[in-house]
Structure 1
Amino acid sequence: MTTERPGFRSFASAPRAIVLWVATALLTALFLALGWNLLQIGILIVPLAAVSIAVTVAALRKTRGS
């Protein structure tokens, strides 16, 4: 049995966090280039940014060992 709790910490890593941030930036640029308005962009980008933040924080806590 593993001691890790389920959630973001169980799969959080620095490379995965970097990929999520790059994907967020690329998707934002794509949607802006397509002429989407802020509401349309926000519906897709805000949840992705929230996951990116959660994975980044979990990865940082995991590397610090706390």
Structure 2
Amino acid sequence: MTTPPVDWQKSSFSGSGDGNACVELGTTAAQLVHLRESDSPTTHLTTTPVPLAHLLHHIKSARG
């Protein structure tokens, strides 16, 4: 089992409201990055910063 995130942060694209329709990101002291959907907070993905950066770069480049 992985160490729980120190702090969850909502995506800037979440908008306002009750916060139940967004992606959240959390980090740990072990340099792990956790991703979860706010309406299913017990299920999350765990990765490290480099693969996450590659994924985000690919997503951004595919949008344009």
Select the structure with the greater relative contact order (CA < 8 A; seq sep ≥ 6). Answer: 1
Structure with the larger strand share: 2
TM-score, normalised relative to structure 2? 0.34
Structure with the larger helix share: 1
| Greater radius of gyration (CA) | 1
